[in-house]
A and B are shown apart, each in its own frame.
Chain A
Amino acid sequence: MSRSKNKKGSGPPERPNEQLASEYALGILTNNEKNRADALFVNDPSFRLMVEEWQERLAPMLDEVGEVPAPEKVWSEVESQLFGAPDTGTSASKSPGFWSSLVFWRRLSFTSIAAVAILFSIVALRVGEPQFDPRGRLSFFAALNLAENKPTFLVQMDMNSGVLNIQAANLTNVESRVPELWLIPEGEAPLSLGIIFADGNTALNITRSLLSVFKSGATLAISLEPAGGAPDGKPTGPIVATGLLQAI
């Protein structure tokens, strides 16, 4: 029974319960052993510290696990669990979920454009469940990224008012050209939504005929065009940013 405590060989001797801590961090324990470790973790700071050391040691293995984007509903459930349920009631023309989402995106656009731009290539998140309200409260969001990790354009589309807001990154090297925003329905030709400012916010009124083309999965793109916009209604200049339209 000489091998019951410390394994022979190199390395520092095991501390009490270190084996349990390592197995606990590995996640392999079940039933009674898991319960015992759970209790120690709560009640014994030295055990907790060992577990955390082991967790830290093992965590790089998780890099092997590929990323899988979570379905959008997870975020809305997190949001409603933490901050209150979005109003799914009948009359809600100002459901908290919807408005807090707008407020959220607005805040996001002012406070963390840089962070967002660095963190995502193309961001697409639906905040809250889509609202299939006959009055058409369904609205859209898109984040358009430039090549080479440059800042991002954030787009909000309010289907109620027909106003599209685009918060532009500071677009440099525009020279004599102007950025033009395009909506590209899946599998179709780009439709011009209008000229936007190279920096700051632009509000575009979207015509009724174009409103029907706003659907999740359509692409928004920005190209650089001659002053006055693309002459033939088709993009002629380089595409500098694209992103997917997402219902919020």
Chain B
Amino acid sequence: MGFFSRMFTNNRSKSKGTAKRSHIASEDRAVSAATKDNVEYVQQALYQTGDLENRPIVCSAGQGCLLYLDSVCDPDKIHEFILKPLFAAGEDDPMSVITSSDVQKHTDLERAIDLMLEGYSVLHFEGGRECYVVRVPSVNNRAVEEPMNEKAIQGAHNGFIESMNVNLQLIRKQIGSRNLVVRRYRLGKMTKSDASIVYLNDLADPKLVDEIDRKIKAIDADNLMNAYMILEYVENQSFSPFPQILQTERPDRTIGNLLEGRIAFLMEGTPTALIVPVSFFVFYQSPDDYNSRTLAGTFIRLLRLFSFFIAIMLPAYYIAVVSFHYEVIPKEVFYQIKGSVAKIPYPPILEALFMELAIELLREAGMRLPAPIGQSIGIVGGLVIGDAVVRVGLVSYPMIIVVALTAIASFVVPSHEMSYSVRLLRFPLMLSAAFLGFQGIVFSLMAILVHLCILESFGRPYFAPLAPMRLKDWKDSLMRLPFWMLNERPMESHSQKLIQESNRQKGGAKR
């Protein structure tokens, strides 16, 4: 044990040292009366960085200097909000002249430097014991477009972008309630990224809000680049194959979940909202379900859940049948399959593993390449290799059918993380089927089911409403009944108010 612990901790002493050296001094430094001293101090504090701009100002308010980082500041705004009004005004207090929405007075230069990194410019006048800090960030957002990986056929076509404020705006625009609360955080000792949790005060479970709040505040790391990293910090069971947090780039999906009493986590730089607590079935809901008719929505949703079983079980079932229980195939089919399978030199498990890995490779390759080449990879891989491999006699035709069906079924999941878990779970099931046939499959499936029964997403049962069984919640998890019948919010999000519409009648319903 000692060996292993040393193996994992052997560079701890090294990292401690660096941590100390890179520690940013945060003792107060009063603003000096001489502008030159201040400028020099700032230049030193930022290690003579190249993007630090220094613009001397001489106007009727006095002699001074404007400091800003031109990489994060917008020169048009500086001109518009600071320079123009300053030169136009008389000897008034600059506080009353500068027209930016955020002007602060600071006597501590260190604080001013911290703000400079976020797009503030610092203005100091000769002889003053304080400086003016004006917010002039350059905003460089991409358009609010439909996310590539979560397309909806009908319904809203907007998506989150990398700017948290725009994302918050997208949410607030839809939920006009004053109960919508945003709690802001600043995460990462070095990166200092903005993050926030969003919830509806009258719906979300306050205990859960506090727990997430505590967990986020407890994160003690230098770098927090994106929301996915936070996810791994706050998740309860990192080694479970199932995702316990829903990631979505769609505002409508986020809003729908907020209105069911869930909590969303947003972060600057990540076009994704993380939603907790979620159950297994939330991953199988798609905004499309709600934009189509009840029967169609229910059918599609059941189809998706069915695809889960196909995706994890079909290869395993085929392997079990071919290697152990060929008696279960009816006679007529048996002769058909036997003709193809009997000539293959390898056991079915090797065939299956080979083909599954080939499909995974194709998928990974197709994803990285630009769209036109990606397609040709699909053709080369799918058609050419698939056909050749059978002709050579390495893999049987039924196996190709099984693997292709499995791959298609695993694409059906509307959430990416769940699709990864489905792809992963397939392999243990295939192996157990190769060892013990149906018995092997049933033992692995039971292990997965037990895991699902035990697993909790932030203290809420993960496999609800199947375990614990709550038939009422089936209305909007396994099925999608008409909106006027969905009178109650699902239990598993533990929202404070269960009733979401009181009138059962169709005409009188809110929608």
Are A and B subunits of one complex? no
Chain B residues in the interface with A (C-beta under 8 A)? none
